[in-house]
Chain A
Amino acid sequence: MTAAEDRELALVAAGGIDAEDRAILGRLAALVEATDPVPPGLVDRIGLALTMEALHAEIAELHLVGEPALAVRADETSIEAGTITFTTDVLTVMISVHPEGGRVRVDGWAAPAGEISVELHQGGDVTTTQSDADGRFSFADVERGPARLVLRRPSDPTVPIVTPQIEL
């Protein structure tokens, strides 16, 4: 680099950031994003992990019973949901997933029967419903993707019961 070039560079470097700099950086951001996009689902998985971390001290994990109806995803811990059953000492939950257009409906049943609060966690989003007296509940028009159910019994509301992550 010649002395003149070095002086020019120093001058440009000392200048304030202007509209063209911002346009260049904006264009560069789009190129970086396109070249190496954040993997789909990462943000949702982090949201779920943080939710579980917040609940961690108080959860009883439900365990999967038998093989899921569809394949377990090889690349992560998610389970592809068809009809699956989870159980703990205090509660058994069966859910079935039905495609509805591009989305799904989730029907579930919890035993022993009783009105329990059921939350569907997807990323940072939580949808809450209440089961009927027979323990039946349903979530309609649900987006596909990783999800968990968190169930709270009126007899013991501070100990939520959480399913493993399932792939709807």
Chain B
Amino acid sequence: MMSDDLVEPVDTALRDQGEGLADQAARAVLAYRDGDRGPLAALVQVMTPLLWHTVRAQGADSELAQDIVQNVWLTLVRDIESIRDPRATLQWMLVTAKRAAWRAVRRSRDEQVRQDSDEHATDWLTTPADDLPDAVAVRDERDRVLWGHVGELSDRCRRLLGLVAMVDRPDYAVVSRALGMPVGSIGPTRGRCLAKLRVALAADPAWSLS
């Protein structure tokens, strides 16, 4: 079970690593305060997938996850005047989403335990490659091999890599920190999770020879 982590200030060193979601979110907040809602609408388009997967990674079912994601956006808009550091917006939203999901999932699991039910929300990123629905675009053998090795990683590593994959390089550190992973868990160096995956892939002839 993941712990409920504190928000830390966004690393100022990130500022020189190019435009990422954190930058885009900061600009959207400032524009919204100035009466221009366009940049925030654009941000909703590009950031909702990351929030979605952050919430799903906590084990929230689809309906619950949709409510939580929508609520995070509404909370942002309601509190938008009181955000002191707009550059922390991305991290704040990720932490808010994660916490809301974690609480909601814990609550629903408690209820299920009381009802003597064994049903759990489907755990994210744990579907075996052979059980992926046909509609899922496993384009080639390498996809299947990659999915298999990701499935062998710890829960923490699987979540970290799955969410970091959703963003570009400037946002790696913000995403890992929002997940409660130590600073430097990924970006600028690989960190242990990505290293484990690389070592496993390199040792797998199905990956390295194809």
Contacts and interface: CB of A to CB of B under 8 A. Distances in A.
Interface of A: 5, 8-10, 12-17, 20-22, 24-36, 38-39, 42-43, 45-47, 49-51, 53-54, 123-124
B44 A17 contact: no
Contacts of A31: 136-138, 143, 146-147, 150
The 6 closest A-B pairs by CB, nearest first: A124-B41, A13-B195, A29-B165, A12-B195, A28-B165, A25-B165
B45 A124 contact: yes
Given A15-B190, A42-B69, A53-B77, A8 B37 contact: no
A39 B53 CA distance: 11
A9 B199 contact: yes
Interface of B: 37-38, 40-42, 44-45, 48-49, 52-53, 56, 62, 66, 69-70, 73-74, 77-78, 124-125, 127, 132, 135-139, 142-143, 146-147, 150, 161-162, 164-166, 169, 172, 186-192, 194-199, 201
A10 B184 CA distance: 13
B165 A50 contact: no
Given A46-B44, A50-B41, A50-B44, 12 more contacts: A9-B199, A12-B198, A13-B194, A17-B189, A21-B190, A31-B136, A31-B137, A32-B125, A35-B127, A36-B124, A42-B69, A54-B37
A106 B137 CA distance: 37
A28 B166 CA distance: 9
A36 B61 CA distance: 11
Given A31-B138, A39-B62, A124 B189 contact: no
B136 A9 contact: no
A133 B199 CA distance: 72
A36 B147 CA distance: 14
